[in-house]
């Protein structure tokens, strides 16, 4: 879980998630879930935040049933698909979900 002040501290990244959510035409549920996942998993290293935000967006879309491809999410967040691929499962597991096994 995260602190209420985290929304203010990481407002830049939440705005980036919203921008990418717009580009992907994601539902408000997917965006809200992605924001919660990101705020619960914000890394210390500034350089890792974009990848975690992208993976959170992908995971949030999965949870909300508003799925997008890893490549589409990666493009919208300006990261590599590999960044999304490596981070989304641990984010889901940390939130108490079991990742799909397609």
pLDDT string in tens for the chain (102-residue length)? 788 899 999 999 999 999 999 999 999 999 999 999 999 999 999 999 999 999 999 999 999 999 999 999 999 999 999 999 999 999 999 999 998 887
pTM value is: 0.94
Can you give the pLDDT at residue 10?
Answer: 95
CATH number for the domain whose boundaries are 5-94 = 1.10.472.10
Question: Where do the DSSP E strands lie in the chain?
Answer: none
What phi and psi, each to the nearest 5 degrees, are found at residue 4? -60, -35
Of all residues in the chain, what percent are helix, strand and coil, respectively (each to 5)?
70, 0, 30
Q: Do 81 and 96 form a contact (C-beta atoms < 8 A)? A: no
Can you give the pLDDT at residue 47?
Answer: 93
Exposed, middle or buried by CB within 10 Å (0-12, 13-18, 19+), for 38? Answer: buried
């Amino acid at each position: 879980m995260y602190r209420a002040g985290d929304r203010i501290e990481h407002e830049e990244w939440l705005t980036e998630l919203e921008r990418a959510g717009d580009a992907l035409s994601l539902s408000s549920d997917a965006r809200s879930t992605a924001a919660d996942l990101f705020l619960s998993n914000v890394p210390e290293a500034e350089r890792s935040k974009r990848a975690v935000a992208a993976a959170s967006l992908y995971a949030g879309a999965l949870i909300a049933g508003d799925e997008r491809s890893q490549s589409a999410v990666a493009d919208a967040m300006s990261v590599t698909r590999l960044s999304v691929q490596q981070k989304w499962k641990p984010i889901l597991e940390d939130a108490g979900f079991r990742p799909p096994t397609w």
